[in-house]
A = this chain, B = another copy of it.
Amino acid sequence: MNDVGCHSPLVRKFQALGPWTDSELLALGSFGSRRRRLGAHQAIFHERDASDEAYLVQSGWTCVYKLLPDGGRQVISFPLPGDIVGISGLFLDGAQFSFESLTPVELSPISTATLLNGAMASSNVARAVRWSVARDSAILVEHLVNVGRRSALMRTAHFILELAHRLRLIGAERAGEFACPVNQYWMADALGLTAIHLNRVLRELREAHLVTLRAGHVSIHDYEGLKDLAVFDGDYLSPPKRVGWP
């Protein structure tokens, strides 16, 4: 059963939280038992949909956002493989946001029962879920700081570094290079900028030899420089190092 981990981004993400026994891996695996494939730019759920299921992203890029009546859009997050979307919706009256695929994706719906049973069955699974939820919250907080108080340049740099770190954790980043199939419109809507201004910011970052984003691919040329610019500290993204954690 250990080979569950070889292909599951969830297990990969949770590995550092281990050690995992085979039966626990089996419990984790139950989160991925059902699978759904979807093409690019397909809605998965909409704001206010009553939701009895969360979704584990198995592969592909996705996007969580809210629309405003004036046509504006705020991207909340870009869930990546190993991320679970919509847990909070299970405990509220419905989803607070819309969720869709940006690329072709593979999703595993997780029912409330599956989630709670998994957590009941194994305290390690419960820990992992709690960590995952807490981490998502930390990412959201950092996103708020980004949009509320950082300049467009710092904000963009910070966002790219966060993506790089998250992708590294699931093995989708190497030596400052990674695929990023998010166009400038979506990215601008995440950063609270217009696509036009973001384009200029990206040019600035490129001309400063810090990072290049082209054709859906990101190359970080000067990691330290970028980190200094953004005042980035990625500790909030990594599994906790504390011993005996709850």
Contact = CB atoms under 8 A, between A and B. Distances in A.
Interface residues of A, number: 51
Given A96-B138, A137-B137, A145 B66 contact: yes
A68 interface: yes
B92 A134 contact: yes
A190 to B, nearest CB: 8
State the majority secondary structure of interface residues on A. helix
B236 A92 contact: yes
Interface string A123-162: 0000100110111111011111101111000000000000
A83 B202 CA distance: 40
Contact of A91 (B74, B112, B246): B246
Nearest to A144: B144
A148 B116 contact: no
Contacts of A130: 91
A174 interface: no
Contacts of A69: 231
A76 B191 CA distance: 17
Given A73-B149, A133-B133, A138 B192 contact: no
Contacts of A116: 246
A96 B144 contact: no
A44 interface: no
Given A68-B149, A91-B130, A149-B73, A141 B96 contact: yes
Given A76-B141, A91-B245, A137-B140, A147 B236 contact: no
The 3 lowest CB-CB distance pairs between A and B, nearest first, are A148-B192, A88-B134, A91-B134
24 contacts: A66-B141, A66-B145, A68-B150, A69-B231, A72-B149, A74-B144, A74-B149, A88-B133, A88-B134, A88-B138, A89-B134, A91-B127, A91-B130, A92-B134, A93-B240, A93-B241, A96-B142, A112-B246, A133-B133, A137-B137, A140-B144, A147-B147, A147-B148, A149-B192
